[in-house]
């Protein structure tokens, strides 16, 4: 059940495509259906594909090789796989009922810098697409443990081999937005993850993207917010489409949701922060302060399941909104013994899944996590799964995982076996 993703970009792409083919086909089918409903001219989408391909050929050509591998093994046209990464702003907006609706409830994150450890948490809200978690190393680049939507070239969460962790949040609405197909927040995260050994390496990489005129936002009208940490300190980065601001964090915490927090970035805002982002930021700051002296993995994982103030809560429940909490990760970096650092990954809604601690040195990928196995929420929400039994089992698995901390392979195999029965 474990596979290795450490070959050439093309070889890795073939493996990824082999195990995610079904989800990719469904995603492309959905895109085509929405295009038909909205009567979007094919030439407009083709122009975006052409422009975005040109960007990747300059910035990260090995991503195109990875996409080519996925295409060759799945039979899906390369252009369709690229289109998943450069759709027009508002593509999912104003659709008939039962479709995924564009929404602006996104992520909640915190960074904590302490004398002996650094911690980074991200709770990810997104359209309810299957999530993937994997360890990937393309030759010539740093390896990363990463989470993302299946079909996304970028990373929504990452922890690389140098103990550098990253989280992205959608930023505020910005003035003079760009409608061009630029690198979005996940693409930027992967670009950094593959090249940066520490937070000090990140500002020059952002500057390079600005010089290349490819720095994009989370959507056509919004900027980005990034939190990073390594074995020494933390870093906050906020950007619009032309510039960025950064702040190194040497001690203490920083909490962010989806509004800019630095004076420089606030000048870019075209709209004031929404009640949703302000409520979530206040709640996460409260939970962090309240539990600062007992911040164990179990306590941190409880933040990701916090539903106070629903729908303006840290965790969303897909039963009442097609826009869902789809994954969460937190990294606890041991500053004295970095190779003891752990990445805690939950590849689905934390209310219905569990966290797996993964050592920074871990390089294999567990197949069911790669192919989105834990995205079984539709059956669950429709009542086809015994939730009481499931939640009881999840609590047991997570307790076991937090106690194991190093070798989780036997636990994952047990989880796969039991979840298959529930499905």
In the numeric block, the tokens 């993995």 are attached to 297
Superfamily of domain 108-422: Penicillin V Acylase; Chain A (3.60.60.10)
- The SS3 call for residue 6 is coil
Confidence check: pLDDT of 4 > 80: yes
In the numeric block, the tokens 């195999």 are attached to 413
pLDDT average, residue stretch 203-216? 97
Supply the DSSP string of 189-232, one letter for each residue.
HHHHHTT-SSGGGHHHHHHHHHHTT-B--SBTTEEEEEEEE-SS
**Angstrom distance (rounded) from CA 205 to CA 190:** 12
Lowest average pLDDT, out of 73-77, 386-390, 409-413, goes to: 386-390
pLDDT average, residue stretch 283-297? 97
Confidence check: pLDDT of 104 > 60: no
Confidence check: pLDDT of 410 > 90: no
Lowest average pLDDT, out of 40-49, 176-185, 246-255, 270-279, goes to: 176-185
What tokens appear for 375 in the block? Answer: 């995205």
| pLDDT the model gives residue 323 | 62
**Angstrom distance (rounded) from CA 49 to CA 53:** 6
pLDDT-above-70 percentage for the chain: 91
Q: Which residues pair with 227 in a beta bridge?
A: 167, 236
Q: What is the largest CA-CA distance in the chain?
A: 57
Reported pTM = 0.94
Confidence check: pLDDT of 69 > 50: yes
| pLDDT the model gives residue 209 | 98
Q: Please, which pLDDT band fits residue 375 given cuts at 50, 70 and 90? A: low
| pLDDT the model gives residue 114 | 98
DSSP 106: -
| pLDDT the model gives residue 101 | 61
Supply the DSSP string of 65-91, one letter for each residue.
HHHHHHHHHH---HHHHHHTTSPPTTT
- The SS3 call for residue 31 is helix
Residues 111 and 236 sit within 8 Å (Cβ to Cβ): yes
In the numeric block, the tokens 């959905």 are attached to 30
Residues 239 and 178 sit within 8 Å (Cβ to Cβ): no
164-183 tens-digit pLDDT: 999 999 999 999 888 899 99
Name the percent of the chain in helix, strand, coil, to the closest 5.
40, 25, 35
Would residue 309 be called left, alpha or beta, if left means φ above 0 and alpha means ψ between -120 and 50 degrees?
left
**Angstrom distance (rounded) from CA 154 to CA 126:** 14
| pLDDT the model gives residue 262 | 97
Highest mean pLDDT: which of 57-71, 101-115, 346-360, 401-415?
57-71
Per-chain mean pLDDT for the chain = 90
310-360 tens-digit pLDDT: 889 999 875 544 568 889 999 999 999 999 999 999 988 888 788 989 999
Confidence check: pLDDT of 401 > 70: yes
pLDDT average, residue stretch 127-153? 93
pLDDT average, residue stretch 267-279? 95
Q: Delimit the domains of the chain by residue range.
A: 2-83, 108-422
Higher pLDDT, 338 or 97: 338
Confidence check: pLDDT of 199 > 60: yes
Confidence check: pLDDT of 137 > 60: yes
| pLDDT the model gives residue 166 | 98
Q: Which residues pair with 234 in a beta bridge?
A: 229, 249
Nearest to 329 by CA among 197, 155, 172: 155
- The SS3 call for residue 240 is coil
pLDDT-above-90 percentage for the chain: 72
């Amino acid at each position: 059940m474990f596979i290795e993703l450490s070959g050439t970009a093309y070889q890795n792409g073939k493996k990824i495509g082999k195990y995610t083919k079904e989800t990719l086909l469904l995603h492309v089918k959905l895109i085509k259906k929405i295009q038909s409903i909205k009567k979007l001219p094919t030439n407009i989408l083709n122009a975006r594909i052409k422009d975005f391909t040109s960007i990747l050929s300059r910035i990260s050509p090995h991503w195109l090789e990875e996409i080519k591998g996925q295409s060759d093994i799945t039979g899906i046209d390369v252009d369709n796989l690229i289109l998943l990464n450069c759709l027009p702003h508002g593509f999912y907006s104003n659709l008939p009922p039962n479709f995924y609706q564009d929404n602006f409830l996104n992520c909640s994150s915190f960074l904590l810098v302490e004398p002996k450890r650094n911690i980074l948490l991200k709770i990810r809200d997104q359209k309810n697409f299957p999530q993937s978690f994997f360890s990937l190393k393309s030759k010539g680049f740093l390896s990363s443990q990463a989470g993302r939507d299946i079909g996304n070239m970028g990373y929504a969460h990452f922890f690389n081999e140098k103990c550098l962790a990253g989280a992205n949040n959608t930023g505020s609405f910005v003035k003079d937005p760009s409608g061009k197909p630029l690198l979005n927040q996940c693409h930027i995260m992967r670009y950094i993850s593959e090249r940066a050994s520490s937070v000090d390496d990140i500002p020059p990489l952002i500057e390079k993207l600005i010089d290349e005129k490819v720095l994009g936002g989370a959507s056509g009208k919004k900027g980005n917010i990034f939190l990073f940490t390594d074995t020494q300190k933390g870093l906050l980065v906020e950007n619009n489409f032309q510039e960025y601001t950064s702040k190194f964090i040497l001690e203490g915490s920083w909490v962010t949701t989806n509004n800019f927090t630095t004076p420089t970035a606030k000048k870019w805002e075209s709209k004031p922060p929404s009640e949703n982002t302000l409520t979530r930021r206040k709640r996460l700051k409260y939970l962090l302060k309240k539990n600062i002296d007992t911040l164990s993995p179990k306590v941190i994982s409880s933040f990701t399941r916090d539903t106070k103030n629903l729908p303006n809560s840290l965790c969303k429940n897909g039963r009442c909104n097609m826009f869902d909490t789809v994954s969460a990760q937190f990294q606890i970096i041991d500053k004295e013994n970095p190779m003891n650092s752990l990445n805690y990954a939950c590849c689905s809604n934390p209310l219905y899944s569990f966290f797996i601690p993964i050592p920074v040195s871990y390089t294999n990928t567990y197949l069911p996590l790669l192919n989105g196995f834990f995205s079984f929420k539709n059956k669950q929400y429709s009542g086809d799964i015994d939730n009481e039994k499931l939640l009881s089992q999840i609590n047991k698995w997570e307790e076991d995982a937090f106690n194991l901390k190093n070798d989780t392979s036997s636990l994952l195999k047990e989880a796969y076996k039991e979840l298959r029965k529930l499905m």
